[in-house]
Structure 1
Amino acid sequence: MTTEKDVVNSSPTTISNANLPKISSKATQSNKESFYSVLAKTPYPAWAMSALCFASTPAAMMKLTGIPSLLELSAFGFIFAGAGYITSTGDITNGSGTTTAWSLSYTLFNMKRAVKSKKPLPLILVSGALANAALHGKQYFFSEPDSD
């Protein structure tokens, strides 16, 4: 039977790397998800873009330079809200695909006008669409498909 005195007086043991189990780097990388991949699986980026579109409608009613029309902003606001809803139901692939497609569409329709205006609000709207396209596009095109 060992006593506390024996434990204190015993020689320290060293742990060498040879005694540790081998852990593959692929296994540790698959367990560690990045912040962006976790964010792409939530509806919040799409809903933020929807809120930004709806918050910009007063500027559209005043017909400020670089801002899309009221109809266009409202339509994109509802589309992004719907894309966020798709993601919130657990259908990550289709939610990411919808968000990516409509973000790229918004960018295609409004990039030139926003850059020419050099005003902050149109540039923020286009930047939000590009950020959503990059975030959800990576999730849609480069991640493993959902297992059903």
Structure 2
Amino acid sequence: MSSNSTAPAPVSASGSDTPASSNSSTVSLASVVRPWSQSPVPTWALSGLFFATSVIPPRPGLPPIVHRLGFGAIFAGAGYVLSTGDTRNGSGIATAWSLMYLFLNSRKSLQPPRHPISLALTAATVASSTIYGSEYFVLQDGDDS
């Protein structure tokens, strides 16, 4: 066997010295997440979920009605910003307010007495913060120029 049996790492298409495999996780993340993270549909769906649950009277384990109405309105506004094509600010608004909701309500929703609606709101908000947070913090780094 010769000492050249291992092939060198492939070079990316841009001609830089970095291997193409180092960008594969970002490329796959971008191809999966970016269509959703630049669309207002997920945040409008989250807004609709918050508004739909606001008709349920206060119960132990549920977030207060004012939280459900307020966050529903904020997510609707974030969807509007995204629909105008401003992905930087729209994803930032959706991420910041998703994290704020989770800061205020996630612990309460996971402690007994658990309510399925509270768990659904928390899970949907985690999904929103993941989708729009990846756009804001990871995927837009190369778009600044």
Shorter-chain TM range is 0.7 to 0.9
- TM-score of the superposed pair, with normalisation by structure 2: 0.76
The aligned residue for residue 118 of structure 2 is 122
Matched, 1:141 2:137: yes
Matched, 1:90 2:89: no
Where does structure 1 lack aligned partners over 5 or more consecutive residues?
A: 1-21
Q: 1:69, 1:23 → 2: CA distance?
A: 51
Q: 1:70, 1:54 → 2: CA distance?
A: 9
Please tell me whether Structure 1 or Structure 2 has the larger radius of gyration of its CA atoms. 1
Q: 1:134, 1:66 → 2: CA distance?
A: 24
The aligned residue for residue 78 of structure 1 is 73
Q: How far is 1:40 from its partner? A: 0.4
Q: 1:64, 1:35 → 2: CA distance?
A: 38
Matched, 1:34 2:34: no
**Percent identity at matched positions?**
35
Q: How far is 1:98 from its partner? A: 0.4
Alignment coverage as a number of residue pairs: 124
Moved over 4 A (4+): 29-33, 145-148
The aligned residue for residue 11 of structure 1 is none
- TM-score of the superposed pair, with normalisation by structure 1: 0.74
Where does structure 2 lack aligned partners over 5 or more consecutive residues?
A: 1-10, 14-19
Q: 2:107, 2:118 → 1: CA distance?
A: 10
Q: 1:131, 1:54 → 2: CA distance?
A: 18
